[in-house]
Amino acid sequence: MRAARRRSNTIASLPGFEEESSDFTHDAQLSKVAVLFPLPLPEPFDYCAPDAWSLQPGDHVIAPLGPRSVRGVVWSVETKSANAANLKPLESKALAAPLPDISRRFIDWTAKYVVTPPGNILRMVVRSTEALSPSPTYAVYAPTETMSGAVTPQRAKVMSEAAREPATGAELARRAGVSSSVVKALVEMGALTRIDVPEDAPYPEPDLSLPGNSLNAQQDAAAEMLKESVRAGDFQAVLLDGITGSGKTEVYLEAIAETLARDPSAQVLVLLPEIALTQAVLARFEQRFGTRPVEWHSAITQKARRRAWREVNDGRARLIAGARSALFLPFRNLRLIVVDEEHDPSYKQDDGVAYQARDLAVARAKLGGCAIVLASATPSLETLVNAQAGRYRHVKLTARHGVAVLPDVELIDLKIDAPDKGRWLSPKLVTAAAEALARGEQVLLYMNRRGYAPLTLCRACGHRMQSPDTQSWLVEHKYSGRLVCHLTGFSMPKPKECPTCMAPDSFVAIGPGVERVEEETRQLFPNARIEIFSSDTAQTGDQVRAIVERMAVGEIDILIGTQIVAKGHNFPLLTVVGVVDADLGLKGGDLRAGERTYQLLSQVAGRAGRADRPGRALIQTYAPEHDAMIALSKHDRDGFLAAEAAGREAMGMPPYGRLAAVIISGPDEPTVNYAAITLGEKAPSADGVDVWGPAPAPLSVIRGQHRRRFLVRADRGVDISAFMAAWRERVKLHSSVRVQIDVDPYSFL
Ligand code: ADP
């Protein structure tokens, strides 16, 4: 057997890994160990390690990979292996608890489904390497019985503070009003003893003795059904389908309470769209369970991240609220997943590994045999069809809580009720707003476009200001005086003269954005308190909370917002919602354009009349005959979705068929073209599968990358992931060309 020695430059610098166990000698019994790395490699690599290490699948290890030492996770172990001796030895094993079996199965399943190497999914699971070591500690000082030196008044003060509550030296000195040398002296004479406290303390347990709100009869029945599903203890999917304001959150909070109470080790995950920005719902969790849920999203600190990961991995964190990436946390005993606003497009990740978190959440619940609740007032067609087919239970809430009723929805036909030239608000909408303001109520104007105007045009030569990276139009932002590309973030000062014909001051702004609507609103209502709510005016969670709070307490009269306002805010004084341009989302030929427009506008309309004052929603459109508009005005969601479903079924489109996209991109256009054509030639032919393309992507250039697309449609019974994997394997493309596969695409750009 080959004696293996650890190389010198490796683990000593990596906290949390056992250094001493890395040397082993030729007479040891060896295991053959397959290790998956968080890298885009096709499969795990084999190594050897002494049986004495007692490695198990899921253990975090360090292994030599080329010239480097790389972290990886044990995928399988064969002890007493006869042919392990020729393998390279592992270097060390981490102290952290192994990745749970279910996490590994979920990684393998997801990798296959989204057609990516499993290492890419592992990278999303093991996000915080610091979490693999025990928490760092800090020293606090507590009194002992010993006091060898003189008891000066200063020392006595420190001792009494330490007796009250042990603290760091600096904190004790501050509380006692003495210099830190006094504390130091007490430590040296043995009067104070050092205690090492972990920086990342375990989270407080949810308090299950607190009562929930008393539910109305319909809510109570819904909560009972959810609890029943939890009690079943295996995979159960429930669509919690309730109109805005019906109390879906109240109801699923009871299912969470039941889950946590039934099993002291149970963990619950609540996925929330845009959790980093809209945190109001977390306060409701806190009220219900006496403690905030553990948060997981892009805005938490590195320290919070490692703490959350470690506590979830150790099974101590019990209630987690997070963005889509929280699905990849290493839950040990996940018993319930809630996907709130399950229709929300932010559950789909398009960059990097493309995945739809709602769908993966259902897969995770199936793999782990747990309950999942999908909550929405406007469920996606995918989910609704699953419910109608009996694959999910369908629980409905049809009334708003208390006296609140759904708002009246009126369509304003812009062809008939046209605003004046250069204006965007129709006389009807202006009148409704004025009436609300006169009653001391609030108005929300919804315009899903940031900035002042979407197009800046030279009136002398017709030149349109375009983004150099994407060729899309630059959007004027008046407050910053810049032209901005909303796709890439590129921006430039608005030029004084046209870059083509050099005419000075020749630019005109075409079309409205929120800033332009605000300008008009200020002219119409000079005394009103008006604010814009968009990702430009509210970039952080604190800024969002501040605007929402001002609106909630009535410090704003007219709020002009992008889709950020559509999320579940409750504004009791808001009675008039005006949708300035309802047709925006209908353009672009997206498969789900109608469905999304319906979802978004009914969420926005649902902000009106959430308390005791009835609300009105006025929707300005050039297409009042569109199915989505008619359905909005009649509150006929089901009729609308039935028509959508029939259309999709006739075309074999999701959810009645499957889609996958391929995006080929690279810096050199001819090379990208060549690659696209080669790939197209190699497409396997299979029954029930259509391959369309290659075609230039609608966004044919982004940041200097030329893009071509394929769209694949398959019958529902076809394993589209296997088809895509087989196709991808047939072709070797130029190294400058990137191929991204997007199974179940939501973006067609
Ligand atoms: P949804 O999630 O369906 O939009 P919410 O759960 O946010 O509805 O409820 C809407 C509002 O009504 C919230 O302010 C909530 O606190 C209140 N509410 C709903 N049900 C109850 C109840 N049973 N008791 C007290 N308040 C309730």
DSSP 148-191: -S---HHHHHHHHHHHHS-B-HHHHHHHHTS-HHHHHHHHHTTS
- Average pLDDT of the segment spanning 581-594: 78
- pLDDT of 416 above 90: yes
d(CA 507, CA 501): 11
Question: Can you give the pLDDT at residue 749?
Answer: 77
DSSP labels for 591-652?
TTHHHHHHHHHHHHHTTTT-SSS--EEEEEES-TTSHHHHHHHHT-HHHHHHHHHHHHHHHT
Closest ligand 1 atom to 242 CA: 3
* C-alpha 568 – ligand 1 centre gap (Å): 11
* C-alpha 285 – ligand 1 centre gap (Å): 12
pLDDT band at 588 (very low <50, low <70, confident <90, very high): low
Question: Can you give the pLDDT at residue 411?
Answer: 94
- Average pLDDT of the segment spanning 55-81: 94
Closest ligand 1 atom to 216 CA: 23
Q: What is the residue type of 680? A: G
d(CA 58, CA 265): 20
d(CA 699, CA 708): 9
188-201 burial code (b ≥16 CB/10 A, e <16): eeebbbeeeeeebe
Top-confidence range, 183-192, 264-273, 489-498: 264-273
Question: Can you give the pLDDT at residue 10?
Answer: 38
Beta strands across the sheet bearing 92-94: 17-18, 92-94, 60-65, 68-78, 30-36, 45-50
- Both tokens of 446, joined, read 């919804």
Residue 45's SS3 state is strand
* C-alpha 281 – ligand 1 centre gap (Å): 11
**Cβ pair 208, 268 in contact under 8 A:** no
Question: Can you give the pLDDT at residue 6?
Answer: 38
* C-alpha 261 – ligand 1 centre gap (Å): 23
Backbone φ and ψ of 739, nearest 5° = -115, 120
- pLDDT of 61 above 70: yes
How would you classify residue 704: left for phi > 0, otherwise alpha for psi between -120 and 50, otherwise beta?
Answer: left
Which residues have C-beta within 8 Å of that of residue 185, sequence separation ≥ 6?
149, 155
Question: Can you give the pLDDT at residue 262?
Answer: 95
- pLDDT of 479 above 90: no
Tens digit of each residue's pLDDT (9 = 90 or more) over 493-534: 888 899 889 999 888 888 888 999 999 999 999 999 999 998
Ligand 1: does its nearest atom lie under 6 Å from the Cβ of 76? no
Ligand 1: does its nearest atom lie under 6 Å from the Cβ of 567? no
pLDDT band at 537 (very low <50, low <70, confident <90, very high): confident
Tens digit of each residue's pLDDT (9 = 90 or more) over 184-215: 989 988 889 999 998 888 899 999 999 999 99
Q: Whose CA is nearest to atom 9 of ligand 1?
A: 247
Which residues have C-beta within 8 Å of that of residue 543, sequence separation ≥ 6?
537
Tens digit of each residue's pLDDT (9 = 90 or more) over 622-651: 989 988 899 999 989 999 999 889 988 988
* C-alpha 578 – ligand 1 centre gap (Å): 24
* C-alpha 246 – ligand 1 centre gap (Å): 6
- pLDDT of 589 above 80: no
Q: Angle between the 248-262 and 280-289 helix axes, to the nearest 10 degrees?
A: 40
Question: Can you give the pLDDT at residue 276?
Answer: 67
Q: Quick one: 70 exposed, middle or buried, by C-beta within 10 A (0-12, 13-18, 19+)?
A: middle
Largest CA distance in the chain: 93
Best of 249, 287, 603 for a ligand 1 pocket test (most atoms within 8 Å of beta carbon): 249
DSSP labels for 461-524?
T--B-B-TTT-PBPEEETTTTEEE-TTT--EEEPPSB-TTT--BT-EEEES--HHHHHHHHHHH
How would you classify residue 5: left for phi > 0, otherwise alpha for psi between -120 and 50, otherwise beta?
Answer: beta
Q: Whose CA is nearest to atom 20 of ligand 1?
A: 247
Ligand 1: does its nearest atom lie under 6 Å from the Cβ of 606? no
Which residues have C-beta within 8 Å of that of residue 100, sequence separation ≥ 6?
58, 313, 330, 331, 332
- Average pLDDT of the segment spanning 346-367: 94
Which has the minimum average pLDDT: 17-31, 53-67, 560-574? Answer: 17-31
* C-alpha 312 – ligand 1 centre gap (Å): 29
Which has the minimum average pLDDT: 545-549, 695-699, 733-737? Answer: 695-699
Mean pLDDT of the chain: 89
* C-alpha 214 – ligand 1 centre gap (Å): 11
pLDDT band at 21 (very low <50, low <70, confident <90, very high): very low
Ligand 1: does its nearest atom lie under 6 Å from the Cβ of 213? yes
Question: Can you give the pLDDT at residue 278?
Answer: 66
Best of 244, 401, 599 for a ligand 1 pocket test (most atoms within 8 Å of beta carbon): 401
Question: Can you give the pLDDT at residue 20?
Answer: 39
Question: Can you give the pLDDT at residue 538?
Answer: 85
Which has the minimum average pLDDT: 9-23, 40-54, 323-337, 688-702? Answer: 9-23
What's this model's pTM, rounded to 2 decimal places?
0.85
Tens digit of each residue's pLDDT (9 = 90 or more) over 124-182: 999 777 888 888 889 999 998 877 767 788 888 999 899 999 999 999 999 999 998 99
DSSP labels for 209-249?
TS--PPPPHHHHHHHHHHHHHHHH-S-EEEEEEE-TTS-HH
Kindly calculate the radius of gyration of the chain based on its CA atoms and give it in whole angstroms: 30
Residue 713's SS3 state is strand
Question: Can you give the pLDDT at residue 63?
Answer: 95
Tens digit of each residue's pLDDT (9 = 90 or more) over 595-608: 888 888 988 888 88
How would you classify residue 588: left for phi > 0, otherwise alpha for psi between -120 and 50, otherwise beta?
Answer: left
What are the angstrom distances between the C-alpha of 394 and each of 132, 229, 335, 373, 490? Answer: 41, 12, 20, 10, 45
What are the angstrom distances between the C-alpha of 233 and each of 174, 227, 305, 568, 651? Answer: 52, 10, 30, 30, 38
Q: Quick one: 622 exposed, middle or buried, by C-beta within 10 A (0-12, 13-18, 19+)?
A: middle
- Average pLDDT of the segment spanning 295-308: 92
CA 58 to chain CA mean position, Å: 26
Give which of 735, 720, 618, 731 is closest to 683, Cα–Cα.
Answer: 731
- Both tokens of 7, joined, read 């190389």
Tens digit of each residue's pLDDT (9 = 90 or more) over 214-255: 999 999 999 999 999 999 999 999 999 999 889 999 999 999
- pLDDT of 585 above 80: no
Tens digit of each residue's pLDDT (9 = 90 or more) over 666-711: 999 999 999 999 999 999 999 999 999 888 887 788 888 899 999 9
**Cβ pair 594, 584 in contact under 8 A:** no
- pLDDT of 11 above 50: no
pLDDT band at 17 (very low <50, low <70, confident <90, very high): low
**Cβ pair 81, 42 in contact under 8 A:** no
- Both tokens of 338, joined, read 């809630």
The total of other beta-carbon atoms located within 10 Å of residue 584's CB is 17
pLDDT band at 12 (very low <50, low <70, confident <90, very high): very low
Q: Angle between the 720-730 and 101-114 helix axes, to the nearest 10 degrees?
A: 70
Question: Can you give the pLDDT at residue 670?
Answer: 92
Tell me which DSSP letter residue 669 carries: H
Give which of 579, 558, 577, 525 is closest to 414, Cα–Cα.
Answer: 579
Q: Quick one: 630 exposed, middle or buried, by C-beta within 10 A (0-12, 13-18, 19+)?
A: middle
